[in-house]
Amino acid sequence: MSKPQHYDFLILGSGESGKYLAWTMAKAGHRVAVVERRWVGGSCPNIACLPSKNVIYSGHVASLFRRGQEFGLAAGPVSVDMAAVRARKRKMVDELIAVHRKNYADSGAELIMGEGRFVAPRTIEVQLQQGGTRLLSGERVYLNLGTRAAIPDVPGLRQSSPLTHVEALELDHVPEHLIVLGGGYVGLEFAQPMRRFGSRVTVVEHGPQLAGREDPDVARLLLRRFADEGIDVVLNARPVKVEGRSGDSVRFQVHTATGERIIEGSDILVAAGRTPNTQAIGLDAAGVNLDERGYVQVNERLETSAPGVWAMGDCAGSPQFTHVAFDDFRVVRDNLAGGDRTTRDRLVPYGMFTDPELGRVGLNEVAAQRAGIAYRVARTPMAAVLRTRTLSETGGFLKALVAVDSDRLLGFTALGASGGEVIAVVQTAMLAGLPYTALRDTIFAHPTIAEGLTVLFANAPVAPTAAVQ
Ligand SMILES: Cc1cc2nc3c(=O)[nH]c(=O)nc-3n(C[C@H](O)[C@H](O)[C@H](O)COP(=O)(O)OP(=O)(O)OC[C@H]3O[C@@H](n4cnc5c(N)ncnc54)[C@H](O)[C@@H]3O)c2cc1C
Ligand SMILES: NC(=O)c1ccc[n+]([C@@H]2O[C@H](COP(=O)([O-])OP(=O)(O)OC[C@H]3O[C@@H](n4cnc5c(N)ncnc54)[C@H](O)[C@@H]3O)[C@@H](O)[C@H]2O)c1
């Protein structure tokens, strides 16, 4: 083996955690290299969070266009130009990539475009994008490998060349009939805008409800809203087989509680969870152990089984959100500076960018019941939050869980206009250890969605009389 080029920090994958670590350490004067095979800045700005929210917003505008008369606007027939939707998304992504490249240049961190593979402990061979190879070693090595769409083992599915979120974000036409496999985050965030662009959409979910980790009242409302928009949802569906080719025509056979069902569509989108990018990159040669699902095994300081090697973000089994990957960076950064920061007991908020939008922080009812934690519930319909009247977006509700033996906030769910924003208020109160009464008695600006918290908490939360249905 030729002699590797040595770095103080060698980072495999330029995702959320890796890029911030690279920029921070390079600015502090360290010699830093980041190896990235495709996406400058990782998934979030290129193929995940930000482009999907960009396209979702175009879908929202399409829905407002259709509702134009309701707002006193005489709208003609709506036509959707998917190539223009894509162009707007691409422009945003290009601008974000430029910002990333500038951050690399300004910080002095070296970005090496190519596929990395371990050939020895803390030593990576890179198949360079422009051809050739480079051998690199690191005093400290960080894995920020991310995940990719999992393709369930359904006969014919892989052969049908299904869309994943990557290809779905690059469509230049509206699919005639999109079948979405999976009713979780990705499935729901794609199903609704595609419907709003004019596609027929069928969501096939093998669980008993949409958004499986959420309370049934959240799932029911989303189901009703999807039905109102003309999205067909098949629950408790066991995929049997797929025939045909996505982009042309597909025939999807599913087994449901009421018997076999054939769904004929033009395209199929796989949104059924994630697979970590940890295979065939020599992690065994590096002494890095994986767990039974293929994620890198780490302790709460994100140290792997190999000395001098850390893992961060999705590939380390952290909750799969960009804000969590960012916090993984902060854990590593602070410990490098001599701190003692861990991933334990993090208060992780969630936002699902459906319409109505879902925001959640802390416990919901199913999680509290599963953990055997007693709680009281405060609940108010979004229609009682006056701002929603001004928007004609009155669907949804606010729901808070409060301890039984104190006024401590246990969790908060907002399903409705700005649901992903208003949770930040409750999250901050939870972090500060404030009782719910502090929010009840705060003067919030009128008319804002946050003002709804005073409405929500105006009446003392009550203990649930029965398990949530
Ligand atoms: C459609 C979609 C929408 C999402 N929306 C949101 C959202 O709104 N909010 C939110 O918080 N989260 C969202 N997520 C989740 C979020 O995108 C991920 O949790 C986050 O991007 C994970 O960041 P990461 O740094 O762990 O990995 P990534 O950003 O995936 O970075 C890993 C990088 O490593 C590179 N890589 C992998 N292997 C190698 C190798 N061998 N050599 C070189 N490079 C390699 C990959 O190319 C990639 O760029 C969404 C996910 C999807 C799929
Ligand atoms: N707004 C956001 O923050 C956001 C958006 C998109 C993705 N994400 C992250 O990415 C992760 C992955 O998203 P996802 O939607 O792929 O996964 P997910 O776990 O959220 O949902 C997958 C869904 O597919 C279903 N499913 C799995 N296999 C199936 C099969 N064979 N047949 C039918 N249904 C099947 C599951 O029951 C589940 O409901 C999310 O969990 C989340 O962490 C976040």
Domain boundaries, the chain: 5-146+277-337, 150-273, 356-457
446 is catalytic: yes
Is the CB–ligand 1 distance for residue 44 below 6 Å? Answer: yes
What does the H/E/C string look like for 368-403?
A: HHHCCCCEEEEEEEHHHCHHHHHHCCCCCEEEEEEE
What six digits make up the tokens of 137? Answer: 């070693």
Residue 77, pLDDT score: 85
Of 461, 457, 464, 468, nearest to 385 by C-alpha is 457
pLDDT on residue 76: 80
Residue type, 429: A
What is the number of the ligand closest to the CA of 39?
A: 1
* Best residue for ligand 1 mutational test, from 16, 40, 46, 49 (most atoms within 8 Å of Cβ): 49
Beta-bridged to residue 180, according to DSSP, are 203, 269
Helix (H) or strand (E) holding 136: strand 133-143
CA of 102 to the centre of ligand 1 (A): 20
Query: Domain 5-146+277-337 has what CATH class?
Result: alpha beta
Q: What residue ranges of the chain have pLDDT lower than 50?
A: none
How far, in Å, from the CA of 182 to the mean position of ligand 2?
A: 6
**Residue with structure tokens 């709680």?**
375
Q: Are 150-273 and 356-457 equal in CATH topology?
A: no
Kindly report the pTM of this predicted structure: 0.97
What is the pLDDT, as a whole number, of residue 429? 98
Q: What was the pLDDT predicted at 75?
A: 67
Task: Tell whether 189 is in a known binding site.
Answer: yes
Asked whether the beta carbons of 349 and 424 are under 8 A apart, the reply is yes
Burial 208-223 (b: 16+ CB within 10 A, else e): ebbbebbbbbbbebbb
Distance from residue 274's CA to the centre of ligand 2 (Å): 7
Q: Does the C-beta of 49 come closer than 6 Å to ligand 1?
A: yes
The residue whose CA has the least distance to atom 4 of ligand 1 is: 49
Domain 356-457 has CATH 3.30.390.30: yes
CA distance 304 to 441: 46
CATH 3.40.190.170 fits 150-273, yes or no: no
Q: Chain centroid to CA 213: how far? A: 13
- What is the per-residue DSSP string for 76-130? ------HHHHHHHHHHHHHHHHHHHHHHHHHHTPEEEEEEEEEEETTEEEEEETT
Query: What is residue 2's predicted lDDT score, i.e. its pLDDT?
Result: 85
